[in-house]
Chain A
Amino acid sequence: EADIYQTPRYLVIGTGKKITLECSQTMGHDKMYWYQQDPGMELHLIHYSYGVNSTEKGDLSSESTVSRIRTEHFPLTLESARPSHTSQYLCASSDESGTLYQETQYFGPGTRLLVL
């Protein structure tokens, strides 16, 4: 069982509110990721980080922002939530330091967001 946590698990919020989705991992992994998952299942990478103070945008354009001040913590923020942000958000981490074959991504349980 991977030690990666997401809170809240479910969030219903009104349009225009600022929200932060939390993601923490206790495995000491350098790489962390945020995915947005459609109701149609497909995973879209929206942000990733190679380590502290490193953040990059993913393949899918997103109005969210991320920060990586500590290795174990990778929060995602929406400054002004809109109904189009309604989705499931999955956080993951991986460790590619040392051994070559360590690309396994460990996923958290996800946050299901509904913006009214």
Chain B
Amino acid sequence: GENVEQHPSTLSVQEGDSAVIKCTYSDSASNYFPWYKQELGKGPQLIIDIRSNVGEKKDQRIAVTLNKTAKHFSLHITETQPEDSAVYFCAATLSGSARQLTFGSGTQLTVLP
């Protein structure tokens, strides 16, 4: 089955700096890679996703890149703000299959004012 590794487990950045979280996956058949943000006291919420037919996707200050050959994908947050502080999860699956999402272990991002 799929295995997703996520690094780092904790990340502290100064407000205004960029943050990068990286994930690797094991199953080359996986083609759907979402990112979730979990704020304190809430459930995870989807913030961005990417499919294997594209290499990069942007939505305002967040972007995700995918390298299918190396089987890794990354979340980039630019101009970080205190409200970006949360736990971020990457995930992978094969779209349209019966496979469940496999989540990474999470990254606690802290944006220091």
Contacts and interface: CB of A to CB of B under 8 A. Distances in A.
Given A41-B106, A90-B44, A109-B42, A101 B100 contact: no
- Sorting the interface of chain B by its residue count into under 10, 10 to 19, 20 to 34 or 35 or more gives 20 to 34
A110 B43 contact: yes
Residue among B38, B42, B51, B100 with max Cβ neighbours from chain A (10 Å): B100
B103 A43 contact: yes
A41 B49 CA distance: 21
Contacts of B49: 104
Nearest to A101: B95
B113 interface: no
Contact of B43 (A45, A48, A92, A103): A92
Interface of B is mostly: strand
B44 A107 contact: yes
Interface in A52-103: 58, 90, 92, 96, 100-101, 103
Interface of B: 32, 34, 36, 38, 41-46, 49, 51, 87, 89, 93, 95-96, 100-101, 103, 105-106, 108
What 7 A-B pairs have minimum CB-CB distances, sorted nearest first? Answer: A107-B43, A41-B106, A43-B103, A42-B105, A107-B44, A104-B46, A90-B43
